[in-house]
Amino acid sequence: MAEKESMDALLPLQPTSFHILLSLADEDRHGYAIIQDISRRTNDEIKLSAGTLYRSIQRLQEQGLIVETRTRPAPEEDDERRRYYSITAMGKAAAQVEVRRLHSLLKMARSCGVVPRTT
C-alpha cells in the first residue's frame, strides 16, 4: 500500500525521466551513452543536453528509480570519469505504470476521435 502511494507520487513521470528509464531498461549505460541512445531511438528529435540529463539522473537516483552500478567495461574501453547507471525494480515498475497511463490516455484520445482508430 505504502509502495503504491510512493509510486503514485512519482507519476506522471517527466518525459526526460521516462526516456532515461527506457534507455536503461535493456542495458546499463553511462550518461553520454544515454544521450546518444535517446537521440537514436527518437530519430534525433530529442537530444538531451548534459545539464538536463544529469539533473534528471540525480532526481531519478534520489527517487530510487536508477542506481549507479559498479559493473564497468574492460579497462581498455573504460573512461574512469564515467559513471554507469542501472534501472532498479522500482524504476521498471514506474516505467510500466507510466506506459499504462499513456496507453489509457491514447485510448481516451481514440474514443474522442482525436487520434484515428487502428484496426
Partner 1 sequence: MRLYRLLLHLYPSSYRADYGDEMCADFEQELRLSSGALAKMWLWLAAIVDVVSNAAAVQWQIARRDISYSLRSLKRSPGFTITALLLITIGIGANAAIFTLADFVLVRPLPFPHPERLVEIWEQHRGYSHMELSPPTIATSRPPARRLTTWEPIPT
Region near partner 1 per CB under 8 A, out of 9-17, 24-32, 93-101, 107-115: 24-32
Place of cell 527506457: 22
**Complex with partner 1: residue 47 or 110, whichever CB lies closer:** 47
In the complex, least distance from residue 68 CB atom to partner 1, rounded to whole angstroms: 9
Q: Write the interaction track for partner 1 spanning residues 59-88; mark x where CB under 8 A is met and - where it is not.
A: --------------------x-xxx-----
Helix (H, G, I), strand (E, B) or coil at 116: coil
Q: Which window, 19-27, 52-60, 93-101, 102-110, contacts partner 1 (CB under 8 A)?
A: 52-60
Question: Which of 88, 108, 84 lies closest to 96, judged by CA?
Answer: 88
Phi, psi of 117 (to 5 degrees): -70, 145
* Residue 35 binding partner 1, by CB under 8 A: yes
Q: Which contacts of 47-56 are long-range, i.e. CB under 8 A and separated by 24 or more positions? A: 48/16, 48/19, 52/16, 53/16, 53/20, 56/14, 56/16, 56/17, 56/20
Q: Is position 58 an interface residue for partner 1 (rule: CB under 8 A)?
A: yes
Query: Which residues are near partner 1 by CB under 8 A?
Result: 30-32, 35, 49-52, 54-55, 57-58, 79, 81-83
